[in-house]
Structure 1
Amino acid sequence: MADKTVNLLAPATGAVIALEKTSDPIFSQGTMGQGFGLTPTHGHVVAPVSGKVTMIADSKHAVGIVTDDGLEVLVHMGIDTVGLKGKPFEIKIKADQEVKAGDPIAEMDLDQIKAKGLDTTIMVLVTNSADKLAGLDVTEGKAEAGQVVATAYLKDEKQEESHSNKKLSHKDLATFIIKEVGGKDNVNNVIHCITRLRFYLKDENKADDDTLKNQRGILDVMHASGQYQVVIGNEVASVYDEVVKQLGDLGNQEMPQPKDDGKNPISRGFGNLIGFITGSMSPIIGVIAAAGIIKGILALLTLPQLGSLLSIKSTPYITISAIADASFFFLPILVGYCAAKRLNSDPIIAAVIGGALVYPQLVEWGKAFKTMFEVGGIKFEFLNYTYSIFPMILAAWLAKECEVWLKKWLPSYLQMIFVPLITVLVVSILTLTVTGPIIQGIANGIAVFINWLVHASGWIGGFIIGGFYQVLVIFGLHWGVVPLVAQQIAGTGESALNAIICSSMIAQGAAVLAVAIKSKKEDLKELGFASTISAMCGVTEPAVYGISLRYKKVFISGCIGSAFGGLVTGLMHGTMYGFTGGLIGFSSFFNPKHPTDLSSFYTFLLASLVTIIVAFLVTWFWGYNDNMTKGAKVAKKKRPGTN
């Protein structure tokens, strides 16, 4: 991304120091651009770069040079020396003169400057750093005048062209994205989750990662689970709508099959499974999170401490509770529909199979474990599949395979009736009798085991999970955890794991809040405050991809904060009764079955306070300052088994 470099020379003999160590806050905070300082031992000043002299201050204390590459370099001699009206300085060059790096440009009387009680530090600054520089490396220590002490990494022309400080409209951003992913003809399909556009491309090599990454409004680009993912952030739904409008009808194109990359088939299969779960779960995360918030608020309103504003037997409570329960109760239908869309099969057939699993009569039989039939002394019983995920994901895959087989063997004039008839009947029966009980039993067992493990490990488990959970988010592996949390809540009514995860979201929000408050860069402030709100509402991708991973110490600071938050949660055995996260998930810490039990809520308050304080302070004092060089948006390695 920054193949071209420009060397910057020491403007005088002395000691080179990092910009943040200089005494003037205007320079040290990077307001004037990236650069370095030099404490001179001699007053002979030379040009740090070759170029044209474009400015000589009337007070002779500053000289501006523009290089052939367009770098605007300012040589500022001394701090607050403008008031000396040029007396300590003798300029050796003229405006519009061409100079070479190392040529004499001025003499400065160090003793005269010191006699006035002023700092003699010479500042070398690239004043158009934001537009021109991808980074700047500075070597501190003693240096001779004309010695190379810094290397500037230039943005290439394509990068400069694509990086705009002007925010594009949703329509223009959609047009830009479609063009840079290879055009409409390269798109098989596109879906979106909470923060990402997830493209299924015919050829990912046609997409231009660097151009996309460096456009304002795009936080990052990822290759994962057979998808080309463009991380947008909070505005993803609006951008997605525009993308769909511009793409038009994509038809019933098949999703590209993962290529055989010769890697471990187990790891490749795991990556593909994560991609399938992502496509099945991501569209419905918002509604089940909203349901969790509603349930928590209802529990809050029934608290005796608040005067029991609602009775659990009242009509309003039962009605609103039913609204909140709907997304969980009918979860197999929602998951089936989304999974079929992901597989490019018939979503209505999958939804009907999901409907069969939650049919009221079958639900009642499932709660009573009514026997369906008995073979060789083995009883096959009905189970309750409301709130379940994994049986329906497998059922959607089976339905897809059944459809493909039937369309291959049935004449076209029979397919309209007999494909859905046979598929619904066969897959529903197979799920109810065989695959459903097996998958549900395994899923419930795993969910209960994880809950027990988190509780048993106490502060150790909380500290480790809290510290490393956001690393899973970076690689998209958190989607393997999401259905487990949902399964925990469905099976046991609580999730200790989700309580710890909650702290990791708050921590990233606190870290980028510190950046937003501390930074004097307007674009970073805007993104920082927006990302803070998003993270506190349980969505950390804008914070992680927009800021934290660009300044890696910010990400580490957030992980440190969440580790301590997880420690408190584990130590106090906090748990969560809903699916939400972040500060907005406070209501999910109220126990709906025992409204007077506020232990988990108090744990949430203390853990959140510790998380915010630690993450904010570590970021403020160690994790970020405006002089830091913003790294390239982190390139994610492909997950095994993806294109």
Structure 2
Amino acid sequence: MAYEELSKQILENVGGEQNIKTAWHCATRLRFILKDESKANKAAIEALDGVVTVVQAGGQYQVVIGNNVGEVYDALVAQVPRLGSGDEAETVAGDKKKLTAKGAFDAFVSFISGSFTPFLGAMAGAGILKGLLSLFVVLHWMTPNTGAYQVWYAAADGIFYFLPIVLAFTAAKQLKVNQFVTVSIAAALVYPTMVALTSAKTAINFFGIPIIPTTYTSTVIPILLVVFLQKYLEPLFNKLWHESVRNILTPLCVLMILVPLTFIVVGPISTTISNALANLVLFLYKNTRIISGFVLGGFWEVFVIFGVHWAFVPVMMNNVTKWGYDPLVPILLPAVLAQAGAAFAVFLKTKDEKMKGLAGSNTITSIFGITEPTVYGITLKMKKPFYCATIAGGIGGAIVAASGVHANAVSLVSILTIPTFISKGFGISLIGDVVAFVLATIFTLLWGGINDQPQTAAVAAAAPQTKTSGQAKATLQTRAETLVSPLTGQVIPLTDIKDEVFSSGAMGKGVAIEPSVGEIVAPADATVQMVFPTGHAIGLLTDNGAELLIHIGMDTVQMDGKGFETLVKKDDQVKAGQPLVKFNIKEIKAAGLKTTTPIVVTNSKNYHEVNVMAKNEVKQNELLLDLE
């Protein structure tokens, strides 16, 4: 599906533009804050080709897309420009009603994720560059005194050094305050004169009020507190000043008040909070290192599922600011690699070609830190592989924690992050990473319950194959014939349906029908070659040699036979127009599934042409296909 069409469908099914407060995206997800989540059609969105799943967590309505999320978001913004302008309605973090309904924690998670997501890629790239520079020094490829090192280090450390400025812009957007005023406040905090005074520990005062020297470069908490204060202060001045001078005098008043207030009050408060967080992490790391490693390594992807992993980001950034390193990031890598290992096991064991392709590609993307498509599309969907990955990640996390290794920068957790871990215990931490991947692979192979014939493979099994109908083929050759419609409904080109197994023509040529009557009849005199146990698919061999597959609905195997009644069994001889299966259209749609039904000639290669004769609407027993 084209990105424009996919974004249009998503927009429609989240309740339309009027139901969206704001939207942004991370590495794999479109993240919405909706006015009313009950207006969104989760089942319809999940059924879209290009959507992995939908997650409702942290006050957000998250549509998991995968690696193409940026293109889908751009197409969405093209339809609703305000979503990319920063002028959207208030987010959860600024919505008191939403705060009351969802709780302060949901609001906090939404605020943090919305603040960090826009520059997460840049920060991850800079963090990896920092790690590579450390590796180059260890390998004696360059020294910190060389010009190349200094230029690259400036590129790597710049975003971290001036993090308050970057964070000011995105955090202000979340709370809908003047972004440039917030950036001005952040710039004052890292202004060279103020940094020099802090470095020299020079005491200064503001009209007699002492200012405690505090370092604000690379900090997170101070500017976040400033934005919250600005959220309440700015509207007061907007009401005070006439609109003719508001755009000048409101920023003037906010700067005159908040900058000194930050140096005098916010700074010391944030320092206290930062120290408390750092000391708590240090205490847990020193006294419960292995247990903490097992919990984080095992349950990190659970945190990701619910979106609460964003709550850890300020803590990690604070650790780097206070100590110059963070012990949490290395512990999380086994969790990521364990998902990759579970996906690799599915790739090795499954016989379903579609699942094999999905698992193979997601193994690679997971290794490079993008785990959501793997989790939602494979491991969590199959359940047992997710459990296996959780255990393996916990074991790997415990080993990494025991090693004492730490990261010198916060980055997207992936194998590319490994150079940032160069420190004491680095070798043992690598063992933990390998253990997580290998154990997840082994556990999933042994106990992952991998179904060798999930839906796409089951469809193929349901279709009569040449080798299974060999006896009939010995006496019967395919001949030109016409097939009548097994359904009453709207005719849809096979290429337009939302299942690439059918739309790609991999199963054969044919047509699809959106049924208005829940009954399948035989399209020709035929032998029933296969009736799927759940009743959602039936295979026929016509007397003239055509092999047919009729698949009722999309993903209807999930209904496990509910709403289906089969009227024939394997090897039955049927006449054209004879009822074969009855199904409940309302029940299928109530389950959030599509009733679009492909009718496919699975041995299309035996014919010169498979022509669709019906246009638009068709009734049972009317001419549908002409096989030449």
TM-score, length-normalised on structure 1? 0.67
Residues 202 and 256, structure 1, Cα contact 8 Å, conserved in 2: no
SS in 2 for 1:188: strand
- 1:421-463: CA deviations, max 9, x gaps? 1122222221121112211331133124303421332323222
* 1:274 aligned partner: 109
* C-alpha distance in structure 1 between counterparts of 2:163 and 2:227, whole Å: 13
Tell me the residue number matched to 1:590: 422
How do 1:334-353 and structure 2 match up within 5 A? Answer: 334-353=166-185
Return 5+ residue gaps in structure 1 as ranges. Answer: 1-167, 592-598, 634-643
Q: Which residue of 1 aligns with 2:403?
A: 572
Structure 2 residue aligned with 1:8: none
Does residue 284 (structure 1) correspond to residue 119 (structure 2)? The answer is: yes
| Whole-Å separation in 1 of the counterparts to 2:302 and 2:153 | 35
SS at match of 2:90: coil
Cα shift at 1:261: 8.1
- Asked if the contact 1:589–1:600 (Cα under 8 Å) also holds between the matched residues in 2, the reply is no
1:262–1:236 Cα change, 3 Å? closer
Aligned to 2:259: 428
1:231-380 residue pairs with structure 2 within 5 A? 231-249=64-82, 252-255=87-90, 258=95, 260=97, 268-303=103-138, 306=139, 308-373=140-205, 379-380=210-211
Q: What is the percent sequence identity of the aligned residues?
A: 34
Residue 206 of structure 1 pairs with residue 206 of structure 2: no
Report the Cα distance in structure 1 between the residues aligned to 2:453 and 2:192, rounded to whole angstroms.
Answer: 60
Distance 2:120 2:61 in 1: 20
How far is the alpha carbon of 1:294 from its aligned partner? 0.5
Mapped partners of 1:364, 1:262: distance in 2: 41
Q: For the residues of structure 2 that align with 1:518 and 1:629, how far apart are their CA atoms?
A: 12
Deviations 1:401-425 (A, max 9, x none): 2221111221111111111111222
The question of whether the paired residues in 2 share the 8 Å contact of 1:499 and 1:575 is answered with yes
Which of 156, 169, 178 is matched with 2:11 structurally? 178
**Structure 1 residues 343 and 527: alpha-carbon distance in aligned structure 2, compared to 1, 3 A threshold:** farther
- 1:51-62 pair list within 5 angstroms: none
CA distance in 1, matches of 2:202, 2:368: 42
Question: Is the contact made by 1:195 and 1:233 (CA closer than 8 Å) also made in structure 2?
Answer: yes
Match of 1:402 in 2: 233
CA contact (8 A) 1:296 1:588 kept: yes
Work out whether 1:527 is the aligned partner of 2:358.
yes
Query: In 2, distance between residues paired with 1:557 and 1:216?
Result: 28
User: Match for residue 446 of structure 1?
Assistant: 277
Q: Is the 8 A contact 1:502 1:582 kept in 2?
A: yes
Contact 2:31 2:63 in 1 (8 A): yes
**Cα distance change of structure 1 residues 523 and 420 upon mapping to structure 2, 3 Å threshold:** farther
CA contact (8 A) 2:352 2:452 kept: no
Name the aligned partner's letter for residue 532 of structure 1: T
In structure 2, the CA distance between the partners of 1:481 and 1:606, relative to structure 1 (3 Å rule), is same
Q: CA deviation at 1:338?
A: 0.5
Counterpart of 2:450 in structure 1 is 625
CA distance in 1, matches of 2:289, 2:175: 40
Counterpart Cα distance in 1 of 2:415 and 2:211: 44
- Cross-structure match for 1:193: 26
Deviations 1:87-116 (A, max 9, x none): xxxxxxxxxxxxxxxxxxxxxxxxxxxxxx
1:246 to partner: Cα distance = 1.5
Change (3 A) 1:183 1:364: same
CA–CA separation in structure 1 for the residues paired with 2:304 and 2:379 = 12
Distance 1:300 1:511, change over 3 A: same
Do the aligned partners of residues 467 and 227 (structure 1) sit closer, same or farther apart at CA in structure 2, a change above 3 Å counting? closer
Q: Distance in 2 between matches of 1:514 and 1:279?
A: 34
Displacement, 1:498?
A: 1.5
Local SS of the residue matching 1:302: helix
8 Å CA contact retained: 1:365, 1:383:
no
In structure 1, how many angstroms separate the alpha carbons of the residues matched to 2:210 and 2:81?
A: 51
The residue number in structure 1 matching 2:510 is none
Q: Which residue number in structure 1 is paired with residue 581 of structure 2?
A: none
**Equivalent pair of 1:289/1:579 in contact (CA under 8 Å):** yes
Tell me the residue number matched to 2:519: none
Equivalent-residue separation in structure 1 for 2:184 and 2:558 (angstroms) = 47
Deviation track 1:560-614 (CA, whole Å, cap 9, x = no partner) reads 11111012112222222222322121111124xxxxxxx3321232111111111
Q: Report the residue type matching 2:142 in the other structure.
A: L
Q: Counterpart amino acid of 1:420? A: P
Decide which of 425, 428, 434 is 1:603's aligned counterpart.
Answer: 428
| Partners of 1:513 and 1:456 in 2: CA distance | 35
Counterpart residue type for residue 540 of structure 1:
T
CA 1:327 to 1:256, structure 2 compared with 1: closer, same or farther past 3 Å? Answer: closer
Check whether the contact 1:455–1:573 (CA below 8 A) recurs between aligned residues. no
Aligned residue for 1:561?
392
Runs of 4+ aligned residues of structure 1 deviating over 6 Å after TM superposition are 628-633
Tell me if structure 2 keeps the 8 A contact 1:459–1:568: yes
Instruction: Output the amino acid matched with 2:60.
Output: Q
Give TM-score scaled by structure 2 length. 0.68
Give the 3-state SS of the residue equivalent to 2:18 in structure 1: helix
Are residues 1:615 and 2:440 paired? yes
SS in structure 2 of the partner of residue 539 of structure 1: coil
Q: Distance in 1 between matches of 2:416 and 2:273?
A: 32
Tell me the distance in 1 between the aligned counterparts of 2:161 and 2:2: 38
Structure 2: unaligned runs, 5 residues or longer: 456-556, 560-628
2:54–2:63 contact (8 Å) kept in structure 1: yes
Take 1:379 and 1:283, find their aligned partners in 2: how far apart are those partners?
A: 37
2:153 counterpart letter in structure 1: S
Task: Determine if contact 1:388/1:440 at 8 Å carries over to the other structure.
Answer: no
Q: Work out the CA distance in 2 between the residues paired with 1:402 and 1:261.
A: 21
The aligned amino acid for 1:619 is: T
Residue correspondences, number? 453
Provide the rounded CA distance (Å) in 2 between the counterparts of 1:440 and 1:195. Answer: 34
Aligned-pair CA distance for 1:335: 0.8
What does residue 509 of structure 1 align with? 340
Following superposition, the deviation at residue 216 of structure 1 comes to: 2.8
- Report how far residue 226 of structure 1 moved: 3.3
* Structure 1 residue 332, shift from structure 2 partner: 0.5
Alignment check: 8 A CA contact 2:24 2:32 kept: yes
Q: 1:460 to 1:310 in 2, by over 3 A?
A: same
Contact 1:511 1:615 in 2 (8 A): yes
Aligned amino acid, residue 173 of structure 1: L
